[in-house]
Structure 1
């Protein structure tokens, strides 16, 4: 009987996460089409370090945007490949494009945060759209994002892009991000609620109202933090600004984040704890519950609760895969492998914490 009451919270937790997933599924947190209220300049700002394999595709996407009132500025952050030469090709043929070659990274700054800060200082637009160099956007994306921000009166709009999975290693690692996010956070409440705990943002795409950004210089505030995106979202909520975070689809914004599963584990390990409010105890507890939970429920719970638990877990996986526009059957089949990948991310995070450094794109951060 004691074991029953000890394991019962695991079943309840699975049910709650399933209900959160259902909320996300029925509220459909995607970009909606609205007419543009007023034509305003959007500065598209791209920090780039050794991105020669990605930057050409993104700049081509931006050159073909149906919304023409844009400027595109790329910050070349001491690249050792042909990033600079690729960008210069666009600068020569399109006067909307500019290139900034960065200098040595100042003490106390992380590379991307410094690049974003420098880009914002050079931007002239009414809106600042920060994009990672590895994303792809459809022709109407900038205009639709601007219209959405105007209609919703937002000061920040962020996206979790649709993830292109090119290998088995990516398939068992990258979806972990959506699994945590969409089963713990009712995404629409990022906009609807003022609670700072209900915040989310993704540095791959963050679009600010320029007046607000210039007033606070958010990347300067979090200059040394590798999870600046989430912290900026929380700070903006504290300041009572309206923000929204959406899911990308193949028809608006997409990305292949990592080239392999090992890269994904290394990349996610730097911010996995922030998915749990920066509380390592919550992260470790979540990892333990989601890993050991199925065995404890199976061995110590009566059949109705066993059925309820596994129904909640499996259906949550199916709905999250569908929300993320991924194959729902693979989501169930790969569930055990993804759980192992999540544990590897948590273990890597703890090792990095003890070591005090994390190497990313050739730099210690």
Structure 2
């Protein structure tokens, strides 16, 4: 038993050494949009936002966009079957600013997820040669779009995605989000998108800036119409087709309150967790076992009376702390001191995977924004 544990810990240590080297090189290629010169004038940018029951946040978000220094903008606000006054807020904003157009969607056609359909319809109304897809709860600093467009043009990009600052109030929510971003980063390696020869793509729903031509040539959102993780899949699609893509940090330019509580985070991850594991039980079991062995066990095994096991565990903890700090300092506004509760947040993450997978099977699909999508259809459309 001790020998097997020592072997597993040694393998984990090798994995973390490789992950640290990869992150060190990758994060060096991660530019910060705050450092880019702001573009004062340029092409028409079409901003597309789809919202379903977002009355609590959408007005504040759109008003931060309306106050941008860069003014050659238009908005297509898509009300996706809202029941809470979202559509009325959109119409009122459109009356205040002629650059805003509103599209109301009343029915969802078969074979589509609601948001994907809404974004596709909104993009179809865009007049600009560049489209920005952004969520309804993102807050923009007044120079955000000018700096992003400057970077987009200077780099000759087809697609730019930007990482926002994730806002959280409670300690445990910060710790959980910090762990989630840590896991997402070493698993998806988003910085690899900045290497032209890499096939790794990335997209973030808060800020997906894309040339209209590339978007249409890639098949629009119709190509990913049944993907709950549409933002990520759009980026992966663009990269796979050979378009020039980059990810940049925008922690001072963009802010979003991803979730308001830990419970809301668990509920929110119901739609993406199983999709990220390709709707396969084998991947769920692998994710649970891998997370537990590599990110929980060392914190208990470090107290082993066996010196080899204790030493390997301590080495794993040090490497984990180093990688966590690197990612946290570049990708989040949170303190790296949250690593002190790392094994507990790892257990919370395992719980979220188990919960999301169980509920998906129990319901026979995912429930998102009041609409149910069958697991059978999700699997069929995403093969």
TM > 0.5: yes
Which position in structure 2 is the counterpart of 1:170?
A: 173
Please state how far the C-alpha of 1:153 moved relative to its aligned partner.
Answer: 1.5
Q: Distance in 1 between matches of 2:298 and 2:68?
A: 48
CA offsets 1:172-191 (integer angstroms, 9 cap, x no match): 32223311133345443212
Change (3 A) 1:363 1:71: same
- The farther-off stretch of 15-24 and 41-50 is 15-24
Q: Distance in 1 between matches of 2:202 and 2:194?
A: 10
CA offsets 1:250-303 (integer angstroms, 9 cap, x no match): x21110011211111222243235656775455234323223343346535355
Please state how far the C-alpha of 1:167 moved relative to its aligned partner.
Answer: 2.2
Match of 2:46 among 32, 43, 47: 43
Which position in structure 1 is the counterpart of 2:233?
A: 231
How is 1:209-248 mapped onto 2 (pairs within 5 angstroms)? 209-248=211-250
Change (3 A) 1:25 1:277: farther
Match of 2:194 among 191, 194, 204: 191
Which position in structure 2 is the counterpart of 1:52?
A: 55
Change (3 A) 1:230 1:285: farther
Indicate whether 1:283 and 2:307 are aligned.
no
Change (3 A) 1:307 1:127: same
Q: Distance in 1 between matches of 2:79 and 2:201?
A: 30
Change (3 A) 1:29 1:261: farther
- The farther-off stretch of 216-225 and 186-195 is 186-195
- Cα contact 1:194–1:237 (8 A) shared by 2: no
Which position in structure 1 is the counterpart of 2:343?
A: 336
- Cα contact 2:201–2:238 (8 A) shared by 1: no
CA offsets 1:8-63 (integer angstroms, 9 cap, x no match): 10221222233334334444443240464971110000001111111111111111
Which structure 2 residue ranges, 5 or more long, are not aligned?
374-383
Indicate whether 1:87 and 2:90 are aligned.
yes
Which position in structure 2 is the counterpart of 1:262?
A: 263
Q: Distance in 2 between matches of 1:166 and 1:6?
A: 37
Which structure 1 residue ranges, 5 or more long, are not aligned?
none
TM superposition score normalised by structure 2 = 0.86
Match of 1:150 among 149, 153, 178: 153
- The farther-off stretch of 12-21 and 145-154 is 12-21
Indicate whether 1:321 and 2:328 are aligned.
yes
Which position in structure 1 is the counterpart of 2:32?
A: 30
RMSD: 2.4
Which position in structure 2 is the counterpart of 1:252?
A: 253
- The farther-off stretch of 305-314 and 268-277 is 268-277
Indicate whether 1:363 and 2:371 are aligned.
yes
Q: Distance in 1 between matches of 2:155 and 2:278?
A: 26
How is 1:195-206 mapped onto 2 (pairs within 5 angstroms)? 195-196=198-199, 198-206=200-208
Indicate whether 1:9 and 2:4 are aligned.
no
- Cα contact 1:200–1:233 (8 A) shared by 2: yes
Q: Distance in 1 between matches of 2:38 and 2:319?
A: 39
- The farther-off stretch of 28-37 and 131-140 is 28-37
Match of 1:99 among 99, 102, 115: 102
Please state how far the C-alpha of 1:346 moved relative to its aligned partner.
Answer: 1.2
How many residues are treated as equivalent by the alignment? 363
SS at match of 2:210: strand
Q: Distance in 2 between matches of 1:156 and 1:329?
A: 30
Q: Distance in 2 between matches of 1:74 and 1:60?
A: 13
Please state how far the C-alpha of 1:109 moved relative to its aligned partner.
Answer: 0.8
Please state how far the C-alpha of 1:101 moved relative to its aligned partner.
Answer: 0.8
Q: Distance in 1 between matches of 2:11 and 2:239?
A: 31
CA offsets 1:308-357 (integer angstroms, 9 cap, x no match): 22211122222222223434254123323321221122112321442332
Please state how far the C-alpha of 1:91 moved relative to its aligned partner.
Answer: 0.9
Q: Distance in 2 between matches of 1:329 and 1:146?
A: 31
